[in-house]
Amino acid sequence: MKNTNKILAAVMLIMLALSFAGCSSENGYEKVVDKYCSAVQKNDFNAMKSIVDWDNLEKIAELNGRDYDKKEMEENLKETLTDQYENLEYKFDKGFTVEHGQIKVLKDGYEDYSLKRLQKLAKLENEAEDADATKFINDFVANLKYVAVVKTNITVKSKKDSSEKDKDEETFYTYCYKGKWYRNTSVLDYVVRALNARERVAGADDSGDDGDRKSVV
């Protein structure tokens, strides 16, 4: 019996470790950027769609009363990726590579996306907020492990002539949710806007007659 309990305990520990394996590092955003570059270079739709938080996009669409067709959204993403690949293939006719430069985590000006701030604001209430939205937002924040807004240069370079290249600065809004890293600006923005509204309500309630806004962070 004791051996059985030990085995069960070991299995539980392994399962727990695996559930957080995808978010074992706060630098997981690097893999998101790597996947993005690889997907563009190889026209790899599976790699690109793997960093999209489809489930939460669907929940947000439902909360906003919009129709959600995952298959259609995937087809749109696939078409956009293919168009991008074909344009690059035409421009760099002998093949090309897609690489990123140093990744910089943005903090100044992006305080709204601080995980610590989101967790604090999630404790506030907003009576005007829809009950389903409240549940979604609180559950989402509770399952966040990391949030990182990062910036890097994406360079597309000709395989024939390395001096022939395009360079663009790209910003990635990334987060680790339920053990997996995603890039989804719209999901984060929905949550941030709702929590900012909660903060405004809390500030109005606490300010008294002077109208000063009080922040929870």
Signed CA dihedral, 66, 175, 49, 79: sign only = positive
Q: Coil, strand or helix: which one is 90? A: helix
Q: Say which amino acid occupies 63.
A: L
pLDDT score of 162: 85
pLDDT score of 193: 95
Q: Phi, psi (5° rounding) for residue 112? A: -60, -25
pLDDT (tens place) for every residue of the chain, 217 residues total: 444 444 334 333 333 333 334 577 889 999 999 999 999 999 999 999 999 999 999 999 999 999 999 999 999 999 999 999 999 999 998 799 999 999 999 999 999 999 999 999 999 988 889 999 999 999 999 999 999 999 999 999 999 988 899 999 999 999 999 999 999 999 999 999 999 999 999 876 665 544 443 333 3
Residue 184 Cα distances to 52, 54, 66, 161, angstroms: 6, 9, 18, 34
Which sequence spans correspond to the domains of the chain?
26-201
